[in-house]
Amino acid sequence: MSTLHTDEAKLGSPHYYNNRELSWLAFNKRVLEEAIDSRNPLLERLKFLAIFSSNLDEFFMVRVAGLKDQVKAGFGKPENKAGLTPKQQLKQISELNHKLVDLQAGTYNDVILPALKKEGIVFLSLESLKEDQLDIIEKHFDEHIFPVLTPMAVDAYRPFPMLLNKSLNLVVKLEDHSETEEFRAKTAIVQVPAVLDRFIPIPSGEKDCSYVLLEDVITRYIHKLFHGYHVQSVTPFRITRNADMTIHEEGARDLLKEIEKELKKRKWGAAVRLEVRKNGFDSHVLDYLLEELEIHSGDVYEIDGPLDFTFLFGFYKELSSKFEHLTYETFIPQPPKDLLADDDVFQTAAVQDLFLHHPYESFEPVIDFVRDAAEDPDVLAIKQTLYRVSGGSPVIEALKKAAENGKQVTVLVELKARFDEENNVQWAKELEKAGCHVIYGMTYLKTHSKITLVVRRKNSLIERFVHLGTGNYNDQTAKIYTDMSLITSDYHFGIDATNFFNYLSGYTEKPEFHHISVAPFDIRTDFLKLVDQEIDYHRHFGNGRIIAKMNSLTDKAIIMKLYEASIAGVKIDLIVRGTCCLRPGIEGISEKIRVRSIVGRFLEHSRIYSFHHNGENKMFLSSADMMTRNMEKRVEILFPVFDVKIKTRIFSMLDIMLSDNVKAREQDASGDYHYVSRLPHEEEIDSQAILRKLSYRVSEDEE
């Protein structure tokens, strides 16, 4: 253990930490920069605008909502890293986010729309349409839109409606000339139907693809809903609500029913954000909305463009098949290097560990692992954890088939996986109906680990096969998320997996494991121990090195230990895609630490932890980030990589990522991120592009 003694009070100074929420906004800015980056295909840039908005919706529904709850409850204590109170955080979030939202709208109006126009793709205002085009649009409104609309009057008998979270609505101010002046003004709400496309194609008589926005069409013809009234103004608006769930687990007799009950409440939480179109709202209407929604003026966002850019996901889908040259070149995940096309997963895993790197390598072997086990007459049991799965999941189908074939199937379905609760409730019911034994997780903990155990009897002997990974058992996200996994028949991994599932499903203390480390708490303890050991190795040999790749870094105990290692001279490279509360490059504190973030075509999701240990090169993969919630509030698994060839492959991938000078940004000592600088003569290194090419090369070599 390290004998280095550092002043903990000094290392805990708020000046050395980034606030978690502001750091996340900095990450979302990097997503927005991908929409600005002209090196990306045009329609992909359009999609990044949608991703930015989708990310922001969730941020408001959970993180901002949580801070607002703290303020309402009178909680004013500063958070334990950057030292900001909830009110201070909300103020800084509002200031930074208003700038980002303005940048997003400016990018859409000034960069994306002109570029689309050059390709013959245009959004038109109704005022610019010719008479025959307006006739077509009006007919479309009468036949396809009008029947779906529901005007909701607001008066003494019909109060302001409870509007759905993230819905787009119109406030309509009306005049009734049959009333006295005192009662002449009327108000109604019309919801823009989410079941209809936000973009409506219009015939232009040219090769151009021309569209108008649904809300603009409704606004133009909205008078048809209010016969006998004069429409004074129409104000589009969108609200975001608190969508965090409060689940009383201890007293719940049936967690599944408790979550189903909470899901119904989620849609109607307190409003935390109001969006209106810039220069497109009635100021009196805005005051009215603020009062009705009980929302602060600082939570109003005036958008210079359409509300809710997530509609661009659908627009991307509409255009991508027609304009393939404006999208990423099609990439097909390749056969894994460790598994030839005709190889049997179990036969191969019986003699060597199999390494898979998604999406560069196909996710199909993982599906085959479960599917083949379901059909194999020698397989006795399958046990698996599920956090997020796709719709129509082949993994779910294989588990159901296994149960129907008489195998013992145990599935932990994490019902508390945020925003997947409804899907997971449905999957849990389906699996139970098929005869699987389904468990819902552990009290007050989310089971976030990714593990499958297959127990098979061969020649009267029991053998175990284990799949461990950094990502979910989701065949769809496996095409766009970078993740790593291992299939092994190692005896001690098999014992660990058996004990782990018994720990989840029964009443037993956390077991002692041979290879794996499990959160809560043990993974943090092991991380701290590994860093301490690296400090000691560096003191004796001068070659200390830590490389860690993760989604987010927030845990203060781990950050302080990394600062301690930096002070001792250990070189530390961190690849952190999202939130990072650690600040690198601070004189005397973190000079030996470099932090980079890679945001590109694929979402970087793998978690890799490497400790040099004077040439021992300890390598781990994990379902866990170095976040406090992962260390304390989730059931996670950290597992070692023993195979030298696999470790060498992962090291080479890390080297490529650490050399990236196209999609990588580095954090400076003030917490700001900048693209990695590249000299004019230096070769461009796009790590994801290189890894794609390498996966093709591997496939060609095998042929």
Provide the annotated active-site residues: 448
**The pairing of beta strand 664-667 with beta strand 593-598:** antiparallel
Cβ-contact 303, 277 below 8 angstroms: yes
User: Count of CB atoms within 10 A of residue 392's CB?
Assistant: 9
Helix axes 556-568, 522-541, angle to 10 degrees: 0
Measure the CA–CA gap between 691 and 666, rounded to whole angstroms: 21
Tokens (6 digits) for 338:
């460790």
H or E segment and range at residue 604: strand 603-604
Amino acid at 644: V
Q: Is residue 201 reached through a cis peptide bond, with omega within 30 degrees of 0 on the bond before it? A: no
Q: What are the residue ranges of helices labelled H in 83-164?
A: 86-107, 113-118, 131-140
Measure the CA–CA gap between 93 and 71, rounded to whole angstroms: 14
Tokens (6 digits) for 384:
């698996």
**Helix, strand, or coil (residue 587):** coil
Phi-psi region of 674 (alpha: psi -120 to 50; beta: other; left: phi over 0): beta
Which is nearest to 468 in space by CA: 348, 552, 628, 356? 356
| Phi and psi torsions of 621, nearest 5° | -115, 155
Distances (CA, A) of 242 to 27, 219, 464: 22, 28, 45
Measure the CA–CA gap between 393 and 423, rounded to whole angstroms: 11
Measure the CA–CA gap between 172 and 236, rounded to whole angstroms: 9
Q: Is residue 333 reached through a cis peptide bond, with omega within 30 degrees of 0 on the bond before it? A: no
**The pairing of beta strand 517-519 with beta strand 437-439:** unpaired
